[in-house]
Amino acid sequence: MTPPLARFASLLADGTRATFCMALLDGRAWTAGELARYAGVAASTASEHITLLVAGGLLAEEHQGRHRYVRLATPRVAELIEEISVYADAGSPVPHKSLRGAVASEAMARARTCYDHLAGRLGVRVTEAMAARGLLGTEGGFTLTGRGREWLESEVGATLGGGRRPLVRACLDWTERRPHLAGAAGAALCQRLHGRGWVVRIGTQRAVRVTPDGATGLRDLLGLSPADLA
């Protein structure tokens, strides 16, 4: 009998399925056709792979009219894929074949979303600044301090609900190899930064950039310098 771990690993062992999961880290729902075009495979091939990923619990789907939309099943799935990517890229980096690829890679490393929270250098710098200011405890895992909750709700304007999702979680960053803030608090913070126009998406991937207003706001909120955001 095949062990559950082996069955799970086989879902990501295929290049097309792994490409789908990495694309869906942007937190949005994609149609099967969009994923097929992104991965460069036929629609029928994409459908077969999606069916396997849904059955394996990595993707969730919904149908609207003729379209089949899929997204990562849960935030924890997104964090798991990000963490696996750290180990998958642990060796020497693969050289880019074009200047465009190098620019896109640097943009992703600088600032991006990991499903619904901030990642890359920006995500790590924000997390470290929160810890330095006593907003986030880091001993034995991340914890949101009372001061941190008050800061998120009053200073940032984030709404922290009481759902089943962990309030905070350390997510090992794929490019920085250090943890960034995930969980409900990380998602709420990211949503507010987008809502204020401090962070905006660039291109069609997960990369984001800090706007001039965002640079000023993050300096006032967390003491982040232009060098921290570069």
- Could you give all domains of the chain from N- to C-terminal order, each with its CATH number? 4-73 (1.10.10.10), 91-229 (no CATH)
Q: pLDDT value at position 203?
A: 73
Q: pLDDT value at position 97?
A: 57
pTM of full prediction above 0.95: no
**pLDDT at residue 90 tops 60:** no
Q: pLDDT-derived band of residue 89, with 50, 70 and 90 as boundaries?
A: low
Instruction: Give per-residue pLDDT as tens, 93-126.
Output: 555 555 565 667 788 889 999 889 999 999 999 9
Alpha carbons 149 and 186: distance in angstroms, whole number: 12
The pair of three-digit structure tokens given for residue 17, joined into one six-digit string: 């399925």
Listed range (78-87, 90-99, 166-175) with the worst mean pLDDT: 90-99
Report, as an integer, the average pLDDT of 30-57: 94
Alpha carbons 126 and 182: distance in angstroms, whole number: 12
Q: pLDDT value at position 196?
A: 95
**pLDDT at residue 190 tops 90:** yes
Question: What does the mean pLDDT of the chain come to?
Answer: 88
Answer for the pair 114, 182: CB distance below 8 angstroms, yes or no.
yes
Report, as an integer, the average pLDDT of 129-143: 94
Burial of 35 (0-12, 13-18, 19+ CB in 10 A): buried
Report, as an integer, the average pLDDT of 192-197: 95
Report, as an integer, the average pLDDT of 188-212: 90
